[in-house]
Chain A
Amino acid sequence: QQNVQQSPESLIVPEGARTSLNCTFSDSASQYFWWYRQHSGKAPKALMSIFSNGEKEEGRFTIHLNKASLHFSLHIRDSQPSDSALYLCALRTGGYKVVFGSGTRLLVSP
């Protein structure tokens, strides 16, 4: 049974700060990794994905995957109030079952 843990549970940062969100998982055979973002009262929406070890950057967002250390992270540069949301990491080991972490609630204060 895949175990996915996110840290911290919640985070408050000032506007313009760099933010780091962490996700650890238990099965190194996991193949596909995503970060989803969910604004309050809305549906989760895929933010970024990565399917092999390494780093991927899109605008202010960077994700990093290290399967050997069972660690997956999301970094936000120049955080904006609009980034305030629940961030969920998700991964898929085999088949179509996707396991989600419990989320990190981010608040960016103006």
Chain B
Amino acid sequence: DMKVTQMPRYLIKRMGENVLLECGQDMSHETMYWYRQDPGLGLQLIYISYDVDSNSEGDIPKGYRVSRKKREHFSLILDSAKTNQTSVYFCASSLSREQYFGPGTRLTVL
């Protein structure tokens, strides 16, 4: 059964703190994604990773960076978090066409 995991599931941070969101997949998929989901805005693409150390900005990369040192693991980093980064973050992986999503991380920045 294809599985994407995300840690942590819930996180509360203060403005200015650093945030690390982690995503793992056990399918050896080359392509991985980070999205954020806000009410009424659907899923907005933050970054795409095509494989280890091969990352590309999505539509809203400002304030975020990513790291992919192993194919099965993709991290999203917020350096000095801002209140407008409060959102639900989803990671996804893809082999060819369909995307498989993780359960999401609900991040609150106070």
A33 to chain B, nearest CB (A): 10
Q: Within the assembled complex, what's the spacing in Å between the Cα atoms of A46 and B95?
A: 14
Q: Is the CB of A43 within 8 A of B98?
A: no
Residue B61 at the A interface, CB < 8 A? no
Least CB distance from B36 to A in Å reads: 11
Cβ of B96 to closest chain A Cβ, rounded Å: 9
Q: How large is the interface on B (under 10, 10 to 19, 20 to 34, 35 or more residues)?
A: 20 to 34
Whether A49 contacts B97 by the Cβ 8 Å rule is: yes
Interface residues of A in 73-110 (CB under 8 A from B): 88, 90, 92, 96-103
CA distance A101 to B90 in the complex (A): 16
Neighbouring A residues of B104 by C-beta, 8 Å: 43
B50 touches A96 (CB 8 A): yes
A-chain residues with CB within 8 Å of residue B43 when the two chains form the complex: 44, 88, 90, 100
User: How far does the alpha carbon of A45 sit from the alpha carbon of B2 in the complex, in Å?
Assistant: 12
User: What class of interface size applies to chain A in its complex with B?
Assistant: 20 to 34
In the complex, B31 has a CB within 8 A of chain A: yes
Contact yes or no, B48 A96, CB < 8 A: yes
Q: A49-B98, A97-B58 are in contact. Are A44 and B90 (CB under 8 A)?
A: yes
CA A46 – CA B31 in complex, angstroms?
A: 17
Chain B CB within 8 A of A25 CB: no
**Min CB distance, B50 to chain A, in Å?**
7
The chain B residue sitting closest to A99, CB to CB, is B45
Query: Judging by beta carbons under 8 Å apart, are A96 and B94 in contact?
Result: yes
Q: CB within 8 Å of A: which residues of B?
A: 4, 31, 33, 35, 40-45, 48, 50, 58, 90, 94, 97-99, 101-104
- In the complex, the 9 A-B pairs of residues with the closest C-beta atoms, listed nearest first: A43-B101, A102-B42, A100-B43, A100-B42, A46-B98, A44-B101, A96-B31, A103-B42, A43-B103
11 A-B pairs whose Cβ atoms sit less than 8 Å apart in the complex? A43-B104, A45-B101, A88-B43, A96-B31, A96-B94, A98-B99, A100-B42, A101-B42, A102-B40, A102-B41, A102-B42
